Amino acid sequence: MIAGIGLDIVELERIARLDERSDKLRLRILSKKELRLYEALPPHRKIEFLAGRFAAKEAFGKARGTGIGKNCRFGQVEILPEPSGKPVLYFDGKEVNGFVSITHTRTVAAAQVILEK
């Protein structure tokens, strides 16, 4: 049974501008494991990765019904790939019963999260 659905979209240019100023955004958004994945990427993929994770975490907060804030912080949400590349959601270190899909074009990144009971 579906417990919640969340969707988010973000402009890559917006994320790139914030990331160019300092590393604060990426340190706030990405977990240590996600940051290691980010750092291993070629430069042109880094913004897509960061924007995709931002959108996915926002979508997760919407699917939970809390949004990002006191009860659901970016640092609590982690999206890690299985060996096949499929993204898997974790909240407070525990795998979430649900699905996440992340996509991007040359100008935007978007994500959808479906949570199950």
DSSP output for the chain: -EEEEEEEEEEHHHHHHHHHH-SHHHHHHS-HHHHHHHHTS-HHHHHHHHHHHHHHHHHHHHHHTS-SBTTB-GGGEEEEE-TTS-EEEEETTEE-SEEEEEEE-SSEEEEEEEEE-
Active-site residue, from 33, 86, 104, 117? 104
Annotated active-site residue 44? The verdict is: no
Active-site residue, from 62, 70, 94, 117? 62
Residues with catalytic function: 62, 104
